[in-house]
Amino acid sequence: MKFNRSSFLTFIALMVAVTFVTCGKTGQKSVITHIPVQIKNKGNWSLWDIKTGAILYEGEFKKEPTVVSEGVFITRNDEGELFYNKIEDDKNFEQIAGPYLRGSLFSEGIAIVCKEESYPSAINTSGEEVFNLEPQDGVTFQSVGQCIDGLIKFQADNGLWGFLDKKGKIAIKPRFDYVDDFREGKARATLHAENKDEFVIIDSDGEVVTEVDQAYIGNIIGEKMVYSDSKKEFGILAVNKEKEKLLNASDKFERLNIDGEDIFYKADDGWGMIDKEGEITIRAKYVTLSRLSDDVYLGFKKDGDDALYELLNKKGEVIKKEEVDGAVNLRNGNFLVKDGKEYQIVDEEGKAVGTNTVKDVGGVNDIVRVASNYSDMVESDYFDWGKIKEYVGTIKSGSLAGFSLGVNCIQAASQLEKLGSVASNASAGKDDQGKGLVFQTLSFGWVDNNGTEVIFIGTGYEDKETGSAGQEGATPDTYDSPAAVDTAKYVSKETPIPDNAPGWALYQSYLNISISMGRSGTLSVWLNFDDYIKKPKTMQVPVDYDGYSTYIEEKTVSYEKNPDAKVSVVSVQFELQTDKREKLQKLIDEAFSKGFTSAGSRNGVSLYTDASGNRWEINGTEIKLLAPATTEYSKSY
């Protein structure tokens, strides 16, 4: 093979994007059987059998299909709709389901799909719907993952995470701030309970196996997980209540990664391998290093402008090496190399698999998700237009969202508070959920032995010298305000002035509220007033100066709400998904087609007047009601 350095950077970007989390002696056998490829530069797409090297459906697809998972792949039409296709043989395939707005690859016989403005559902490899995820037990499903280890993770509309079984029934109630997909019956999770954040390992019943008391822990592989107790020390813990240290954290290991029964370590910016006692078996000199088969490892090296792959045995002895631009483990005993302008599949002996070479490969992100046991999340597209129509229906002469011009700020504030409380009834009693740290990624750039960023969860690092997390030379008392102690002596010792308008600021002339409507979007209501809504109450008091003279001074004795401040502008802003705004615009236009008079437009803003002479401005999805220009309520216009 010829070595072409110019295309190395392109391929290394591809390689760095790919990761495989494995289990067992030889690693997880990939369920990916084919990848999308272009035989000619910028040509149509085909599928490439990554075991035999055969090309299927040459030039069949104008748009890039997905990888083939469990015998099924996804294609898109010009409108972006998804269709599921099943391989029959090397010349024929059958379209089994579609069109869908969104969809995942198959995993354990199930794919999660979603039609426009519908709840997610699941199909089997025959294209038949096996369940529909309408709300159940008070839970509305916002996004749904893939079936992994018999369970399907989901996020509810309140932001919390839980799991479904393969029949679409809730198996673990949504109470977690973050969850992994399960691996061999266990998963990492975080939750907020009893006013504190907990980092835990849960079992398939949702029960806590053990709490995490380390700075960070990595993915669970088998009964082990990598842990870190400082930024430069890593070790391995057992996944049990005792959290036995199988390998003590050591600064010899800049990083650790468990891959099946293999333990890879990083030192001096290279990856190598150690045994369970921490003894080095392969020196850290590879950009990526992974098991290719039972007895062979694949290492990729780069030294300056030179790059090559090496095939090694368990002792780290090189069996074969060759200069190439890059190499990616396909997890089926073969690997993909790029040499010059072409890609080729190579086996564990370094021999070409088949005779086909291709100009471009695709589906890398799909390979990552499937082979890494990370869910491809599918979002619900259900949309409650009834709620949107309810607010658009409040558009009438002199009133918007139930607010009328000329109402004083005290009445308006009470009305705004009721509007907010009605909107938040669904989440009442859940104020303590979803708080605090959900998960952390290692800010100093963790990547595993295959070059992919890894998510860690845990309590975080504490700077023992300063007592402040992540802030060198800082203390909790002085970091944010170094002059806090010095300025304390200037604080007045006088009795505080009573404040009967708490939460309002002096010189404030507006009130606002943002209301979540779930998948329907967000509604923001702004009220502007013609005067400040908070004012000081003063009185004349005698002041004695040194016992020699007395003067009458006006002093503030309290702060009050200003009943003279009247609503002068009502503004309602809808925040919706982009594909829903056109329909909202039609609803708004329809509302203004009766009982309103068009006053033209200015700078793209549509202008109207109502029967009372009030002015209206429509700017996209924002509706603004203003008093007539001749009245006292028009100062803020």
Q: Which stretches of the chain score pLDDT less than 50?
A: 1-28, 422-445, 463-493, 631-637
List, for residues 483-523, the tens digit of each pLDDT value: 333 333 333 345 678 899 988 999 999 999 988 776 778 88
Q: Which residue has 């059958």 as its token pair? A: 94
User: Residue 408 has what pLDDT?
Assistant: 95
Q: Which residue has 């793209």 as its token pair? A: 604
Return phi, psi of residue 525, to 5°: -115, 125
The CATH number of domain 5-379 is 2.140.10: yes
- pTM for the model stands at 0.74
Spatial CB neighbours of 450, under 8 Å, sequence gap ≥ 6: 18, 19, 20, 288, 290, 329
Residue 36: asked if its preceding bond is cis (omega within 30°), the reply is no
Other beta carbons within 10 Å of 156: 19
Return phi, psi of residue 5, to 5°: -70, -25
DSSP state of 448: -
Spatial CB neighbours of 443, under 8 Å, sequence gap ≥ 6: none
DSSP of 131-197, one letter per residue? EE---BTTB-EEEEEEEETTEEEEEETTS-EEEE-TTS-EEEEEEESEEPPPBTTEEEEEEEETTEE
Total length of the chain: 637
Return phi, psi of residue 73, to 5°: -135, 165
CA angle 81, 18, 160 (to 5 degrees): 65
The domain ranges of the chain are 5-379, 385-424+494-634
Here the tokens at position 318 are 């090189």
3-class SS letters over 44-93: CEEEEECCCCCEEEEEEECCCCCCEECCEEEEECCCCCEEEEEECCCCCE
User: Residue 337 has what pLDDT?
Assistant: 94
User: Residue 435 has what pLDDT?
Assistant: 32
Spatial CB neighbours of 627, under 8 Å, sequence gap ≥ 6: 405, 406, 568, 569, 614, 615, 633, 634, 637
Spatial CB neighbours of 30, under 8 Å, sequence gap ≥ 6: 20, 330, 331, 332, 367, 370, 371
User: Residue 192 has what pLDDT?
Assistant: 78
User: Residue 494 has what pLDDT?
Assistant: 54
Here the tokens at position 69 are 């998972």
